[in-house]
Chain A
Amino acid sequence: MGDLINIFIKSAFIENLALSYFLGMCSYLAVSKSVKTAFGLGLAVIFVLGITMPMNWIINTYLLSEGGLFGMDLTFLRFILFIAVIASMVQLVEMVVEKFSPELYSALGIFLPLITVNCAILGGSLFMVSKEYNFSQSVAFGLGGGFGWFLAIVAIAAIREKMKYSAVPAPLRGLGMAFLLTGLMGMAFMGLMGIDPAAFN
């Protein structure tokens, strides 16, 4: 159990997907104009990461690896299968959001289908493979990574809302300022790399 908490904290803070690896930047920058939409997208990402990570783990272990169902090394199919799982999950989330929260659906716009191509999701699955996690560790890694991404997008959305009242030079307003702010937040998160993960055991 301590091991799982350790992975959760490590993937949420020390190896934050958004601010340490800069994954999922497209939707991170485009949807962070208000805290409300950022909150919704963040929750959707936690949900999609938390589900796709164990599913991809099952596919990778029981279908694609050498000891799997087909008894041969099919890892060259990894990209296509992982992305198929992610795309179908996102389509499911899209249907659910459209049904239960039409305002959020229209606020997220094109960025809901673009969760599919949010690099944080596919990147997370590829990291999970390269770190050789087992099933429960992959669940913890998925939820932790999603939570870290959620924190990052809500934080930048809050900063950008306050930024409206500052005198930013006109060409830098909006997108340019978001880039500079993310760079500064990234530097701040580099400070967390000093945390010793073993301390949580």
Chain B
Amino acid sequence: MAEVKVAEPKESIFTFGKAERKLVTDPLNDNNPITVQVLGICSALAVTTLLNKAIVMAIAVTFVTAFSNLFTSMLRTGIPKQVRMIVQLVIIATLVTIVELTLKAVNYPIYKELSVFIGLIITNCIVMGRLEAYAMANNPWKSFLDGIGNGLGYGIILIIVAAIRELFGKGSLLDFKIIGPTADYVLNTSEISWLGWYANNNLMVLFPSAMFVIGIVIWVHRAWNKKLVDIS
């Protein structure tokens, strides 16, 4: 069997110039994974009921996208085209198992709340989509930065949506009561929190509200960034 020759371009790869900065900042706005590329919607809908869940999920996804991009890009010249998906998925599944076990050890209550959706990072389209679209054709360092950028672009939308849903659905942010009557309001009516008349809107906790909130986020994003408007 002939030896596989790895033909890496002889350039200094660990630079961080203008092109590399663009790789990280582009997914935050012009090429956002959720609002522009339509990738990774499922988990964005399910974990955004509470802000702390969304933050943990954003960190986990950024870790997985960055390192799966890095490893796939390192192996890209050796992977036969027909079995590429299985190879990619084994890399992703390994990284997700690492994240799952780490989270289980570090913060068990959050792990219990996220349980299924940590597993479903494997099927988060952002990870696979970036591997297919970017890491299979670019060098490891650039792919790593692309992974970080896309993870952050996903995280920022997740945090915005979670903040809106938690604030109006539960009247709190990070479990800290902000609007609506406090729990001891019934016992002590003289102590009224800010906007004490607000009654929690249960629709915001249900699934359809995530759709509405993301729809409105897309509306605002495209009204502000005109070049993203869908012409067709």
Name A's B-contacting residues (CB within 8 A): 20-27, 29-30, 76, 79-80, 83-84, 87-88, 90-91, 110, 113-114, 116-119, 121-123, 126, 169-177, 179-180, 182-184, 186-187, 190
8 Å CB interface, B21-48 against A: 35, 38-43, 45-46
Interface centre among B41, B94, B133, B220 (most CB of A within 10 A): B41
Name B's A-contacting residues (CB within 8 A): 35, 38-43, 45-46, 82-83, 85-86, 89-90, 93-94, 96-97, 116, 119-120, 122-125, 127-129, 132-133, 206-212, 214-216, 218-223, 229-230, 232
- Taking a contact as CB atoms under 8 Å apart, the answer to whether B230 and A76 are in contact is no
- Taking a contact as CB atoms under 8 Å apart, the answer to whether B123 and A172 are in contact is no
**B134: shortest Cβ distance to chain A, in Å?**
12
A122 and B123 contact, Cβ closer than 8 Å, known pairs A83-B93, A180-B215? yes
Q: How far is the CA of A141 from the CA of B117 in the complex (A)?
A: 21
**A47: shortest Cβ distance to chain B, in Å?**
17
Q: How far is the CA of A88 from the CA of B90 in the complex (A)?
A: 12
Candidates A25, A179, A186; contact of B42 at CB < 8 Å = A25
A113 and B215 contact, Cβ closer than 8 Å, known pairs A79-B93, A84-B86? no
Q: Which residues from chain A contact B43 at a C-beta distance below 8 Å?
A: 119
- Taking a contact as CB atoms under 8 Å apart, the answer to whether B120 and A122 are in contact is yes
Of all chain B residues, the one with the shortest Cβ separation from A178 is B215
A117 and B35 contact, Cβ closer than 8 Å, known pairs A110-B132, A175-B230? no
Q: How far is the CA of A181 from the CA of B132 in the complex (A)?
A: 29
| 16 A-B contact pairs sorted by A residue (CB < 8 Å) | A22-B42, A26-B42, A27-B125, A79-B122, A83-B122, A84-B89, A91-B85, A117-B127, A123-B116, A126-B119, A171-B229, A175-B35, A175-B38, A177-B215, A179-B215, A190-B206
- Taking a contact as CB atoms under 8 Å apart, the answer to whether A84 and B40 are in contact is no
Q: Which residues from chain B contact A180 at a C-beta distance below 8 Å?
A: 211-212, 215
**B8: shortest Cβ distance to chain A, in Å?**
26
Candidates B89, B206, B208; contact of A184 at CB < 8 Å = B208
Q: Which residues from chain B contact A20 at a C-beta distance below 8 Å?
A: 207
Q: How far is the CA of A116 from the CA of B208 in the complex (A)?
A: 25
Of all chain A residues, the one with the shortest Cβ separation from B230 is A174
Of all chain B residues, the one with the shortest Cβ separation from A80 is B93
Q: How far is the CA of A118 from the CA of B223 in the complex (A)?
A: 30
Q: Which residues from chain B contact A171 at a C-beta distance below 8 Å?
A: 218-223, 229
**A41: shortest Cβ distance to chain B, in Å?**
14
Since A25-B42, A113-B132, A186-B208 are in contact, a sample of 11 more A-B pairs with Cβ atoms closer than 8 Å, ordered by chain A residue number, is: A22-B211, A119-B120, A172-B222, A175-B38, A175-B218, A176-B218, A176-B222, A179-B215, A179-B218, A182-B211, A183-B211
**A181: shortest Cβ distance to chain B, in Å?**
9
- Taking a contact as CB atoms under 8 Å apart, the answer to whether B218 and A79 are in contact is no
Candidates A21, A26, A79, A175; contact of B125 at CB < 8 Å = A26
- Taking a contact as CB atoms under 8 Å apart, the answer to whether A22 and B45 are in contact is yes
- Taking a contact as CB atoms under 8 Å apart, the answer to whether A117 and B125 are in contact is yes
**B90: shortest Cβ distance to chain A, in Å?**
7
Interface centre among A29, A83, A176, A187 (most CB of B within 10 A): A176
Of all chain A residues, the one with the shortest Cβ separation from B226 is A171
Q: How far is the CA of A117 from the CA of B96 in the complex (A)?
A: 14
A83 and B89 contact, Cβ closer than 8 Å, known pairs A26-B41, A91-B82? yes
- Taking a contact as CB atoms under 8 Å apart, the answer to whether A186 and B229 are in contact is no
Q: How far is the CA of A169 from the CA of B218 in the complex (A)?
A: 12
- Taking a contact as CB atoms under 8 Å apart, the answer to whether B42 and A79 are in contact is no
**B46: shortest Cβ distance to chain A, in Å?**
7
**A131: shortest Cβ distance to chain B, in Å?**
13
Candidates B120, B206, B218; contact of A172 at CB < 8 Å = B218
Q: Which residues from chain A contact B86 at a C-beta distance below 8 Å?
A: 84, 87-88, 91
Q: How far is the CA of A172 from the CA of B211 in the complex (A)?
A: 13
Interface centre among A21, A76, A182 (most CB of B within 10 A): A182
Interface centre among A113, A117, A186 (most CB of B within 10 A): A117
